[in-house]
Amino acid sequence: MKLDSQTCVVTGSSRGIGKGIATELGAHGANVVVNYRNSEREAYDVVDAIEADSGSAVAIQADVTEGDEVEAMADRVQNAFGPADVLVNNAGITIDKKFEEMTREDWDAVMDVNLGGVYNCTNAFFDDLKDADEGRLINISSVVGQQGNYGQANYAATKSGLFGFTRTVALELADTGTTANCVSPGFVKTDMLDKVPERVQNKILNRIPLDRFADVDDVACIVRFLASEDSSYMTGQVLGVNGGMEW
d(CA 66, CA 52): 32
CA atoms within 13 A on the CB side of 9: 35
**Residue 217 region by backbone torsions, left for phi larger than 0, else alpha for psi between -120 and 50, else beta:** alpha
Residue 155 in contact with residue 149, Cβ under 8 Å? yes
The question of whether 150 is a catalytic residue gets the answer no
Neighbours of 157 (CB within 10 A): 17
Cα separation, 187 vs 180, whole angstroms? 23
Strands 238-241 and 179-185: parallel
Q: Which amino acid is at 158?
A: T
Stated length of the chain: 247
Which one is catalytic: 36, 44, 155, 233? 155
Q: In what order do the strands lie in the sheet with 238-241?
A: 56-61, 31-36, 7-10, 86-89, 136-140, 179-185, 238-241
Give the residue numbers annotated as catalytic, written as ranges: 155
